Amino acid sequence: MTITFNDLKKAIKNNEIDTVLVCVSDMQGRLNGKRVTGKAFIDYVHKETHMCDYLYTVDMDMFTVPGYKSSSWETGYGDMTVIPDLKSIKIATWLEKTAIVICDCLDHHGKKPLVHSTRQILKDVIAKANKMGFDPMIGSELEFFLFDQTYDEIHNNNYKNLKESSWYIQDYMIFQTTKEEDVMRELRNSLLKSGIYVECSKGEAAPGQEEINVVFTDALNMADNHILIKNAAKEIAYKKNKAVTFMAKYKENVGGSSCHVHNSLFDKKTKKNIFYNSKDKFGMSDIFKSYVAGQIKFLSDISIFLAPNINSYKRFQEGSFAPTKSVWGIDNRTAGFRLAGHGSSIRIECRVPGADVNPYLAFAALVGAGLYGIKNKLKLEEPYSGNIYEKKVREVPKTLNAAIQLAKKSKLLPEIFHSDVLEHYIHAAEWEQKDYDISVNDWQLRKYFERG
């Protein structure tokens, strides 16, 4: 459950909690941090702690990537100050006697926020929205694959001969998902008890594929919840001698795993959705139309934030329910942006991000693009209908390298992000591309080993 600091102190003194996970989100959207004793947390760690600032310069393998201005061997890889956000404390009910808190990152002296830390990037965009009188509200839907093997088994088998938890497509299938309830029931109920409002889980459009849906909330809380959901799914699967993956596309002949981002703006004063207009033929307010127009205009520019990895771009295939076109449609799942809901629940769903996305960066990019549209009163084109895969319209970038080049040339991105943030994350994307370019993969071995 979500608890106050005073509640946590009582739980620690009563020996109900003995460990506090003090965590930050890294560049990949994973939980990094420390396991702190309950006593130390209530005595002093709740005020601040420290972590090496290289956490925002390493790649997924924790390799110290050269070329970052913020931290390097030349700067000595010093500490950053980490401040627990006491409003984010939750009991991690799937772990024994454990609480978790998400933190903000400041410079070594604890004076200035780290502008390139992922939570701060989202907080800065939210602050812009607040100045305009808006509260960004987000709901992210996560998909993943469940395997009847342990992580160790999969690794030792070189990630071959994977055994999904089903051998047939299980989209909405109750009987098949009953077989998976040992993992999914604990995931749903543990998250719910921990203060994350889970609505449901369901089978998805491939063998062994799951989806978990949570009720929307404010953007920062949703991003915090998002990374906890992913970590909880991995930890619960691990306890059951199973494994999950949030790869955007783990296998070439099955659908990818998405992270559909439902977003809207609420009025800060009235706390009501300002996207609805009962007199409009689509039920859309002028603010909503400009917001969506901004996201469509920016989509190619922000792709490195929505699809950050080489593998991310493998999802974008026709007929896969992953989008290939940067247009919008009314309840149309072949569009990059889908108008969803009605009345006070009306919202736009961005279908571009995969399950590998960093939610802080994706939410910041989408909200920032929407705010640009509102500020500049952009006009929204008419919606597309039918099979949009077949239409010759704006394409979603097909490779990370293409997305990098678009970001580097973009005149729009500086409207959303601080120059240091852009430099930092373009460098991260370039390193990902370079790391892949020098690799030799299974496809190359199969094709060229004997016949080349």
Q: Pick from 81, 97, 116: which residue ends a domain?
A: 116
What confidence score (pLDDT) does residue 452 get? 86
Torsion of CA 104, 107, 111, 114, to 10 degrees: -50
Both tokens of residue 361?
Answer: 């960066």
| Residue 121 maps to a domain | no
* pLDDT tens string 186-201: 999 999 999 999 999 9
Residues 202 and 342 in one domain: yes
pLDDT recorded at residue 1? 63
Q: What is the 3-state secondary structure (H, E, C) of 413-443?
A: HHHCCCHHHHHHHHHHHHHHHHHHHCCCCHH
- Does any domain span residue 396? yes
Rounded to whole angstroms, how far apart are CA atoms 261 and 136? Answer: 12
Distance CA(286)–CA(205), nearest Å, equals 35
Question: How many Cβ atoms from other residues are within 10 Å of residue 96's Cβ?
Answer: 9
Question: What's the rounded Cα separation, in Å, for the pair 275 and 291?
Answer: 9
| Residue type, position 114, single letter | L
pLDDT on residue 312: 97
Residue position matching structure tokens 């919840």: 225
How much is the CA Rg of the chain, to the nearest whole Å? 22
Tokens in use for 320?
């896969």
Asked if 106 and 160 sit in the same domain, the reply is no
The answer on 166 and 100 residing in a single domain is: no
- Express the helix, strand and coil content of the chain in percent, nearest 5 each: 35, 20, 40
Same domain, 325 and 432: yes
Task: Kindly state whether residues 167 and 109 are assigned to the same domain.
Answer: no
Residue 420's identity, in one-letter code, is D
Tally of domains in the chain: 2
Are 383 and 330 in contact, with CB atoms under 8 Å apart? yes
Asked whether residue 202 falls in the same domain as residue 313, the answer is yes
Ranges of the chain whose pLDDT falls below 50: none
Instruction: Please identify, among 116, 143, 176, the residue that sits at the C-terminal boundary of a domain.
Output: 116
pLDDT tens, position by position, 140-170:
999 999 999 999 999 999 999 999 999 999 9
Last residue of a domain, one of 78, 93, 116: 116
Return the CATH number at 9.
Answer: 3.10.20.70
For 108-258, where are the E strands, in sequence order? 134-147, 198-203, 209-214, 217-218, 243-245
449 located within any domain: no
User: Residue 295 domain-assigned?
Assistant: yes
Domain range for residue 313?
Answer: 126-443
Distance from C-alpha of 209 to C-alpha of 320, rounded to nearest angstrom = 14
Q: Are residues 309 and 365 in the same domain?
A: yes
Residue 56: inside a domain, yes or no? yes
